[in-house]
Structure 1
C-alpha cells in the first residue's frame, strides 16, 4: 500500500498562501504503476510536444519524478515525462503526490508549467486565467495575474468578458491576503459617511468600518478637509448632458444630496457642525461660528440684547442691519447655486 500524505494544505480562499507551489506541498517520492495514472487536466490546449517526448525518451538521464493529484490520480505536472517513460517501456515511474482540490491542482499545473519546461503560449495562459476566475472569483486581478503569467489588465479584460463571476461579489482578496472592495467609488462614499458620523475616529477605524485601505481612508479625509469630493475625478462616472453642438459634450455636475432643513435652526446647525467638509477647513469653521448665532434660542437672543448698554443701542442696531443684509446676499447666492445644481 502506498503512503502519500501531503505535509501542508493551502487555503485556496487566500491567494497569499503559497503552500501549493512549495516543495513541502508534496509527499515523499514513491514509485507508481504507469497504468494507474490518468492524463493531466493541463493548461496546454494542444497536448504534448511529441518531439520533446522523443528527446526525453532517447535521453539516458533518469526521468525526474512527476506530480500527481492524489484524489483523481491525474498528472498535474509531467505528461511529457510520463509519455517518455511509456516509450521506454517502463512499468513504473517516480511520483510525488499532491493532496488538494481539483481547482488547486489545476492552479498548481499552471504555476509549474510557467516555472519550468516548455512555456505556455499567450492563448493557453488566457484560457487558464478564465478557469481560475471561475474557480476563485474572489481573487483580485493582480493575484490571478501572478498565478497565470499575465498582466493584471489582461486578467481584468478577461473577467469583464466572462459571464461566470457572480454579480454579488463586492470585494476581492489581493496578493497580500487583504480584502478590498471591487467598487472603489462605493468604498470611498462609505468612508466619507463614516468620517461624517465619527469625525474623531482614527484612520484604521474608518478603514475597517468602510472596508477600504488605511491609505484610502486618509485620502478621503484629506479631500473632505479641503472641501473636495471624496471621489477623485478619474473614478467619477462620466455623465454627459446633451448639447446643441454635435462636437462638444458637457459633463453634467453630480447631483449633491442636500442636508435636510427644517424649522429647527438649532438642529440644522448641529447637523452642519458634524460635516467634515466644514469642520476640517478654516473657512468652514469660521462659517460654523457665524451660523451658530442663527441657531440661538429666543431666550439667548433676549439675554444678549439686554446686555447692550443704552449708549450703544444705535451702533449695535446699524451693525445688526448690515449683518442681516450680508446674510440676505449670502442666502440669495446659495439659492442660485442650489437651483443650478438641481
Structure 2
C-alpha cells in the first residue's frame, strides 16, 4: 500500500502510520544542511562510516533525502546527510513530508527497507517491537508490511514483549478494526470456508467481505484449503477454541475441487509434438511452446495459486480468465478453418470455388 502522508485512517477516525509515501507526489526542495535535525533512526548500530565514505567519493549529486517538514527532522537519508556535510555541501535535495510526528518512525522504517542501505534483520525486529509498543492495535500483517518481516515473526515479537498492550481488536491493512480474540478468529475463518464452498468462483475480496475477515486472512484460508490443510491454524489458540465448541454432527470436509485429469491432454500434446507438420514449422513450434506452459498437474496449479500475494490476486484472476478467453476464441477459429477446409475438399470438381478470405 502506498499513499501520501496522513492518508490512512482507522475506522474510528484515528491516525495510523501509512506504509510507504509516494515521494514523486511530494514537494522537493533544496534544504540547508545545517538546518536539519538527526533522524529518529531505526538503525540500532548507528551510521556506517564506510558507507558514508563511499557516498563522499561520488562525484554526482546525492539522491534526495526525506525530511519531516514541520520539525526539520530527517526521516530517511542520514548517511547521505553525513556525506553532504563531509563534502562541504551547503544544501541537500530533500522530499518534504507533512504528517503527524508520531508516524515519523514507522515511515522511516518502511523507507529504509528496500533502498539505500537496507535495515538489518535485527533492526527490523527492534522496529517491530517499538511500533507494537506505540501502536498495539495494528495487526500483525500491518506491522509486517512496514518492517518487511513475516506476520508470524511479528506475532512472536508481540507475544514476547511484556510492554505491548494486548487488545481484543486489531486494525488491518484496510484500516478496518476487527476482533482479535481466538473465538472470533476461528469463526471468521470458518465463515470463509462456507463462502468458498458455496461460491467457489468468488474473489478474495468477496470472500473477505462476506466472511467479515481481512483480505490476508481470506488468502490464507483459501491457500490452506487448496493444500488440504485445516483452515484454522493449529497452535494459535483458535483451533483449540473451535475444538471446544459443541457440534451436533461432524463437519464435512471442505476442499476446493481439483481440475479434471490432464492425462488425455498430455497424450494429445505428445502426439502433436511428434507431428512433422508442426515440429518442423516456425508457427507450429511457437504453438507447441504455448501449449507446454499449461502442461502442469492439478496439484502444481493448486500450489502455485497458494503462493499468489493477496494484493495480486484480483489482477492475476482477471488475467488468467482473459487468457482462457483468448484460447477459447483461438479454438473456435481453428474449428472454423478446419470446417471450411473440409467443405472445400468435399465440393465437386466442377463446383464453384470458395471465395478467398
Query: TM tier, shorter chain?
Result: 0.5 to 0.7
Matches for 1:52-131 after TM superposition, within 5 Å: 52-131=51-130
Q: What is the rounded CA distance, in whole Å, between the counterparts of 1:121 and 1:208 in structure 2? A: 36
Which residue number corresponds to residue 32 of structure 1?
A: 31
Deviations 1:243-292 (A, max 9, x none): xxxxxxxxxx9596xxxxxxxxxxxxxxxxxxx959x99xxxxxxxxxxx
Deviations 1:54-78 (A, max 9, x none): 1111211111221111222111111
The structure that has the greater radius of gyration is 1
Q: CA-atom RMSD, angstroms? A: 4.2
Q: What is the rounded CA distance, in whole Å, between the counterparts of 2:125 and 2:7 in structure 1? A: 24
8 Å contact 1:8–1:25 — kept in the other structure?
no
Q: What is the rounded CA distance, in whole Å, between the counterparts of 1:50 and 1:127 in structure 2? A: 22
- Measured after TM superposition, the shift of residue 236 of structure 1 is 4.6
Q: What is the rounded CA distance, in whole Å, between the counterparts of 1:87 and 1:190 in structure 2? A: 56
Equivalent residue in structure 1 for 2:173, among 175, 194, 210: 175
For residue 114 of structure 1, give the secondary structure of its aligned residue in structure 2: coil
Pick closer, same or farther for the CA change 1:173–1:45 going to 2, 3 Å: same
Q: What is the rounded CA distance, in whole Å, between the counterparts of 1:149 and 1:108 in structure 2? A: 13
8 Å contact 1:40–1:77 — kept in the other structure?
yes
- Measured after TM superposition, the shift of residue 42 of structure 1 is 0.9
- Measured after TM superposition, the shift of residue 32 of structure 1 is 1.6
Matches for 1:150-299 after TM superposition, within 5 Å: 150-167=149-166, 169-186=167-184, 235-237=238-240
Aligned pair count reads 218
Q: What is the rounded CA distance, in whole Å, between the counterparts of 2:88 and 2:233 in structure 1? A: 66
8 Å contact 1:143–1:174 — kept in the other structure?
yes
Say if 2:2 is the partner of 1:13.
no
Unaligned runs of 5+ in 1: 1-5, 193-206, 220-230, 239-252, 257-275, 282-342
Q: What is the rounded CA distance, in whole Å, between the counterparts of 2:122 and 2:213 in structure 1? A: 34
Pick closer, same or farther for the CA change 1:25–1:58 going to 2, 3 Å: same
Deviations 1:11-60 (A, max 9, x none): 25379985742125522x21221111111111111111111111111211
Q: What is the rounded CA distance, in whole Å, between the counterparts of 1:232 and 1:82 in structure 2? A: 46
8 Å contact 1:181–1:212 — kept in the other structure?
no
TM-score of the superposed pair, with normalisation by structure 2: 0.51
Q: What is the rounded CA distance, in whole Å, between the counterparts of 2:69 and 2:93 in structure 1? A: 14
Pick closer, same or farther for the CA change 1:163–1:102 going to 2, 3 Å: farther
Pick closer, same or farther for the CA change 1:24–1:66 going to 2, 3 Å: same
Which residue number corresponds to residue 22 of structure 1?
A: 22
Q: What is the rounded CA distance, in whole Å, between the counterparts of 1:109 and 1:145 in structure 2? A: 14
Q: What is the rounded CA distance, in whole Å, between the counterparts of 1:255 and 1:45 in structure 2? A: 46
Say if 2:43 is the partner of 1:44.
yes
For residue 93 of structure 1, give the secondary structure of its aligned residue in structure 2: strand
TM-score of the superposed pair, with normalisation by structure 1: 0.53
Pick closer, same or farther for the CA change 1:7–1:140 going to 2, 3 Å: closer
Which residue number corresponds to residue 245 of structure 1?
A: none
8 Å contact 1:66–1:78 — kept in the other structure?
yes
Q: What is the rounded CA distance, in whole Å, between the counterparts of 1:64 and 1:58 in structure 2? A: 14
- Measured after TM superposition, the shift of residue 82 of structure 1 is 0.6
8 Å contact 2:9–2:175 — kept in the other structure?
no
Pick closer, same or farther for the CA change 1:148–1:72 going to 2, 3 Å: same
8 Å contact 2:20–2:111 — kept in the other structure?
no
Unaligned runs of 5+ in 2: 191-207, 222-231, 253-357
Which residue number corresponds to residue 263 of structure 1?
A: none
8 Å contact 2:8–2:16 — kept in the other structure?
no
